[in-house]
Structure 1
């Protein structure tokens, strides 16, 4: 599902992941298993979860996709 979102929103980043065999289990799971607590401070995290709880369950996939796109320059250097 996240790959589908990246195909639509940032095909170059997805192609980079595919080229280096980086799957969503690698880049998404690390964010999901910590519930984003490693990348947001407490106030940001609380705000994020207000949005997660008040939106469709797929919203969390958009957050992962957005995080990847926002960090694309660093990810493309790897």
Structure 2
């Protein structure tokens, strides 16, 4: 089931580490409660949590340098948006 997403989050799906970092540095997407303009440090199996103003909370994983498995928080659970 595809959920309606903020454009900033849609642009993050499948983007490279560098592209995603640049998008977040420009604002609109906040990581862990603040705009993160520093290079990200990704963990191989970890999720990052993203808050999009007015659109809710998301989490994503990173595989091969790209953002994948973006999920949106619905209630207490996260549902896939891919």
The TM-score with structure 2 as length reference comes to 0.26
Query: Which structure's residues are more often helix, by fraction?
Result: 1
Query: Which structure's residues are more often strand, by fraction?
Result: 2
Q: Which has the higher contact order (CA 8 A, sep 6+)?
A: 1
The TM-score with structure 1 as length reference comes to 0.26
